[in-house]
Amino acid sequence: MLTPTDATALRKERGAFFTPPELAALVVNWAIRSPKDRVLEPSCGEAAFFIAAGERLRALDGNGPIGELHGVELHAPSARAAEAMVAGRGFEAVVDVGDFFEARPPGLFDVVVGNPPYVRYQGFVGEARARGQRAALAQGVHLGGLASSWAAFVVHATSFLARGGRLGLVLPAELLSVNYAGPVRRFLLDRFQRVRVVLFEERVFPGVLEEVVLLLAEGEGPTDHFEVSEVRDAAGLNDLGVRRFFPGDNGAKWTYSLLPDSGAEALSSLTNGGAFTTLSKWGDPDLGMVTGANDFALSAEEATAPARPRLDPDDHGYLRSSSGRNRPGRRRRPRRAVSPSSGAGAGSRCGDRRSVVTRGRHDAGLSFASELDSQAAAV
Of all residues in the chain, the percent with pLDDT exceeding 70 is: 70
Q: Distance between alpha carbon 275 and the CA centroid of its chain, in Å?
A: 29
Query: Which 3 state secondary structure label does DSSP give 168?
Result: strand
Taking Cα atoms as reference points, which of 14, 42, 202 lies closest to residue 120? Answer: 14
- Give, in order, the Cα–Cα distances in Å from 111 to each of 80, 108, 186, 303, 309: 22, 9, 21, 51, 63
> In one letter, which amino acid is 335?
R
pLDDT > 60? residue 85: yes
Residue 133 identity:
Q
> Could you report how far apart the first and last alpha carbons of the chain are, in Å?
73
Distance between CA atoms of residues 57 and 63, nearest Å: 10
* Confidence (pTM): 0.69
To 10 degrees, the CA torsion angle through 271, 248, 199, 189? Answer: -170
Q: How confident is the model at residue 17 (pLDDT cuts 50, 70, 90)?
A: low
- Over 80: is that where the pLDDT of 59 sits? yes
Q: pLDDT for 347-359, tens place per residue?
A: 333 333 333 333 3
3-class DSSP state for residue 131?
A: helix
- DSSP letter (8 states) at residue 316: T
**SS3 state of residue 27:** helix
Q: Is residue 205 within 8 Å of 20, Cβ to Cβ?
A: yes
What average pLDDT does range 108-117 have in this prediction? Answer: 95
pLDDT of 14 reads 41
C-alpha span between 296 and 266 (Å, rounded): 37
CA nearest to 55, candidates 88, 96, 3, 91: 91
C-alpha 244/C-alpha 225 separation (Å) is: 7
List, edge to edge, every strand of the sheet that includes 226-231.
Answer: 94-97, 69-73, 39-41, 109-114, 161-172, 212-218, 194-200, 226-231, 243-245
Q: How far is CA 253 from CA 38, 129, 154, 198, in A?
A: 33, 24, 17, 16
Rg of the chain over Cα atoms, rounded to whole angstroms, equals 28
Q: Cα angle vertex 80, ends 19, 119, to 5°?
A: 45
Per-residue pLDDT of 137-182, as tens digits, reads 999 999 998 999 999 999 999 999 999 999 999 999 999 999 999 9
Give the model confidence (pLDDT) of 248-260 as tens digits.
776 788 987 777 7
The Cα diameter of the chain in Å comes to: 93
User: Which helix H or strand E contains 84, and what residues bound it?
Assistant: helix 76-88
Residue from 113, 114, 127 nearest 17 by CA = 114
Question: Among 26-30, 129-133, 197-201, 259-263, which is the least confidently predicted range?
Answer: 259-263
Q: Which of 249, 195, 251, 248 is nearest to 220 (CA)?
A: 195
Which residues lie across from 197 on neighbouring strands? Answer: 215, 228
Evaluate the CA torsion angle 228, 232, 237, 240 in order and state its sign: negative
- pLDDT tens per residue across span 298-329: 777 777 777 665 555 454 444 444 444 444 44
Lowest mean pLDDT among 25-34, 35-44, 278-287: 278-287
| HEC per residue, 228-258 | EEEECCHHHCCCCCCEEECCCCCCCCCHHHH
